[in-house]
Chain A
Amino acid sequence: MSDFLDRLGEELERSISGPTAPRSRWRGTAVAALAFAAVLALGVPWWVLGRAGESPTASSTTTSASSTTTSKVEFPIVPLPVSWGRVNHSDVFEGTQRVVLSGVDYARSEYLAVGSVVADVEASAVVLSSSDGVSWSQVETGIDPDGIAFSDIAAGNQGSVVVGVRIGGSAIFLFRSPAGEWVRGSFGSGATYGGVSVSRVVAGDLGFFVAGSALLDDEGSTAVVWRSEDGREWSTIRSGSFLGTVASANAVAVLDDNLVVGGVWSDQSGRSDAVVWRAPVSQLQKTDIWERTVLPRSDDSGFAGISAIAAGRDGVVAVGFDADSGAVWWSADGESWERVKGDFSLEGMSTRIHDVLSVPAGYVAVGTRTRGFESQKVIWVSADGRSWTRMDLEESTVLGGSVSVFDLATDGTSVVAVGTEKEPAGKGVAAVWISPPVDGVETSTPITFGSDEIDVPVVSIEPDRAVGATVITVEVVGGGIGPIPVEVNGEPACVADGVAAVKRCSFSPVDLGLSIGPHIIKVAGATDGPILDVLPEGSLVVTIDTIYQATTWPIVFAVFVRNDGAEPVDVSRWVVAEVDGDQFQFPDGTLIPPGSSAMISQAGPTGSQCPSDGGLVFRLCNYFGSDRVDDSTQIWLGGALTLFDTDGTEIARWER
């Protein structure tokens, strides 16, 4: 044995025999967001995954188009937020001022929104709180709000940080400890720079990062990043690559172990570009380590910039503007970026995308398009960050005026957007929207997406020789993103899927138990299901085809073993094994009917009994231990899952 291994063994023995050291590495929001990489729901019917708005413990009866097997799930999936409701809370502010909410975040069972009350050239800071995103109240900070405008808030388990500016003065922050104590501080002033502003703050396990900018005393400006481990003491991160004729950091996110900062940068040529600065988190103070990347433009006219960045599954999305159009960029690694094509502009209006949020089913972005003094909010959704759909929502206004939306947050179940509504006279109210809508909230009607009123032509009724049954193919004309569930007589029949405006699916009337007679075929509500993907190729009878994430936080995963064959498969004592040895063994008597899936999930509300319901839904008993929760190192990062039969023969394999 080498000396090194002996010494390492001694160190190991010392470490494991003593108290466990605390975590010291950042497993921040972006890393957690990257865990969303495992959320694609491959081939699982929408109704298996649950509807938006159901409680985490709600049950739903599931019926496969090719099987009469009934399954039950105990938690829903967070869908893409395509249905929104306007929260009318104008009673929070009354008077003639205009209230602008510019930032919102969620932590510790509470939404916090910040902004300012604007009257002429004066501003007064406001902080709002809500436990559900619907009922809001002002928060008393104990700090004189006059002359302060807040721009953003980041809420984390270690506390919350609000950033903003004192009008005519310095950039400031408020820190609220978990105990509720508020502390005010400054990021610096003209003593350091000619003037300082702050745009965005994010929270993670390593603390807080703030993106902003500063005017230089001599000429030009510089992007600036501030970092704090506790929200109270801040250090300034500078780099030569931050300097420019115009330079501003507007967004910040963590991708893997890199800090990715987005903003605007121009040199003396007068061209102003959207740029990303990037550096390893462990070496942020090395001024020469920052790499600046100019993001691709549609053309070279006008200005471009980044407003927000969100790390999600498979990559990172930056949003902002490019000339008069909203703009979205996507990158797998934060280093190489592509400009995403999409419906981000409207002739005659100027569009800006202000924020993007990673949610389990993909991304949601919000922005504002303006013409003169008129403005409208715009919402886009995407399953993968590269293909986006704009949602035109019938606007529900309080004052009948212009509406703008600036920031997004999620509690894991709902998504909240904040902004402002302004009537022509200048009066305004804080504007809050929530998705999915809840009782008591005025609902916006999605126009782009399917609804009950969509015409559903039955394009063909033909025999399917493979199964010896009549199969009805439904063509759904409605477009939009994601799958569209189709019901027959109010019962799930199939999920129409496909790219762009026409989606198709088929079902067997025999399997649905339909007798001769008229039957109502219709699209089931809005397209609030997760995106379905194609099934794995191959002729395997049993496949591991789905790992997804549920709404509940912490993360909940499930594995589906699907029988794609025509005959039932007895999987008694078969084993699903992860590459590192975690295993689940099906109990005796487990039979998966054709077209059905057995689901294995983490321990649910019923505890760790296995199986929990005597059907095809199994609770964690000896698989994916609960310590996996909140431990991103335990979440699949490319590891394979393998299905073995009782002889140890590999039957199927799943690998991201």
Chain B
Amino acid sequence: MSDPRSDNELMEASRTDPAAFRVLYDRWARKMLNYFYRRTFDPHVSADLVAETFAIAWEKRHRFRDVGRPAGAWFYGIASKELSRYRRRRRVELTAVDRLGLSVPSLADDDILRIEEMVDAAAYREHLKGALEKLSNRERDSVRLRVVEGRPFSEVAEALGCSEGAARVRVHRALRRLGDQMGVER
């Protein structure tokens, strides 16, 4: 039987009751995994980010204040911050996980398949494919060169036959259009 308490009540209760936090985990873990996977397309990174997010949430739970905002927004806030940190540093820092002594289970092939099924990755890829197709050839090329192939802007510029500065602008605009096509919020 599911716990009748609201997320905010569980957050308050989790200050002294780890079981309440586990209920919150069960409610939000899948959403967090979904959130991360759709932004990284990497199941390992997503798994680590989920673990770090909940470790941070546990550490900071006593600072949550029920002022009318749902606890879910609080989880998303932490997730957003961790995602930004991951993008900035190109790696997941399991700082809170380490402090907590939390052992993050390794992902088996089956796990990866399940995660992709769970977040409906196939549909998302189709969505991405559709968005890419709506870009111009030049925009698509710039994204492919820079993002997919990871080539430096100097090479992107050479391939596109433009200056490096122009290449940066093209990639930026193409990614922005791609984001618009996919409904990415900014």
Which A residues are within 8 Å of any B CB, using their own CB?
1-5, 7-9, 11-13, 15-18, 20-25, 256-257, 575, 578-583, 585, 622, 625, 627, 633-634, 637-639
Contact = CB atoms under 8 A, between A and B. Distances in A.
A21 B99 contact: yes
Given A11-B102, A21-B99, A638-B88, A579 B77 contact: yes
Contacts of A23: 98-99
Interface stretch (B63-71, B130-138, B156-164, B171-179): B63-71
Interface string B84-127: 11001100010110111111110110110011001000000000
Nearest to B62: A625
Contact of B102 (A12, A582, A625): A12
Nearest to B89: A256
A21 B88 contact: no
Nearest to A639: B81
13 contacts: A11-B103, A12-B58, A13-B19, A15-B101, A20-B99, A22-B99, A25-B98, A581-B69, A582-B63, A627-B60, A637-B85, A638-B84, A638-B85
B6 to A, nearest CB: 16
- Chain B CB within 10 Å — which of A3, A256, A581 has the most? A581
B120 to A, nearest CB: 13
A19 B73 CA distance: 28
B114 A4 contact: yes
A263 to B, nearest CB: 26
Contact of A8 (B19, B51, B65): B51
Contacts of B30: 1-2, 5
A256 B90 CA distance: 12
Which of A5, A578, A622 gathers most chain B CB within 10 Å?
A5
B35 interface: no
Contacts of B59: 627
Interface of B: 18-19, 21-22, 25-26, 29-30, 33, 47, 50-51, 54-56, 58-60, 62-65, 67, 69, 73-74, 77-78, 80-81, 84-85, 88-89, 93, 95-96, 98-105, 107-108, 110-111, 114-115, 118
Contact of B54 (A12, A257, A622): A12
A9 B100 CA distance: 13
A3 to B, nearest CB: 6
Contacts of B54: 8, 12
Given A9-B29, A13-B18, A16-B21, A580 B74 contact: yes
Given A16-B58, A581-B73, A2 B102 contact: no
Contact of B56 (A15, A256, A633): A633
A2 B111 contact: yes
B18 A17 contact: yes
A583 B67 contact: yes
Of the candidates B85, B100, B115, the one having the most CB atoms from chain A within 10 angstroms of its own CB is B100
Nearest to B43: A4
B105 A8 contact: yes
A583 B65 contact: yes
Contacts of A12: 21-22, 25, 51, 54-55, 58, 102
A11 B105 contact: yes
A1 B60 CA distance: 25
Nearest to B93: A257
Contacts of B56: 580, 633
Contact of B101 (A8, A13, A21, A627): A21
Contacts of B111: 2-4
Given A8-B47, A637-B85, A25 B95 contact: yes
A388 B29 CA distance: 49
Given A11-B104, A12-B22, A3 B29 contact: no
B166 to A, nearest CB: 22
B115 A2 contact: yes
A403 B80 CA distance: 53
Contacts of B58: 12, 16
Contacts of B78: 580-581
Contacts of B50: 5, 8
What are the nearest 4 A-B pairs in CB distance?
A21-B101, A581-B74, A7-B105, A2-B114
Contacts of B55: 12, 15
B64 to A, nearest CB: 6
Nearest to B119: A2
Contacts of B99: 20-25
A387 B105 CA distance: 48
Contact of B81 (A7, A16, A21, A580): A580
Contacts of A639: 81, 84
Given A12-B58, A15-B100, A15-B102, 20 more contacts: A1-B26, A1-B30, A2-B30, A2-B33, A2-B118, A3-B110, A4-B47, A4-B115, A8-B54, A11-B102, A12-B21, A16-B22, A17-B18, A21-B100, A583-B67, A627-B59, A633-B95, A637-B85, A638-B81, A638-B84
Contacts of B33: 2, 5
Contacts of A257: 93
Contacts of A638: 81, 84-85, 88
Contact of B64 (A9, A15, A21, A581): A581
A433 B69 CA distance: 53
B95 to A, nearest CB: 5
A16 B81 CA distance: 22
A16 B89 contact: no
Given A7-B105, A25-B95, A585 B85 contact: no
Contacts of B103: 11, 15
B57 to A, nearest CB: 9
A20 B18 CA distance: 12
Nearest to A13: B22
Given A633-B96, A639-B81, A625 B21 contact: no
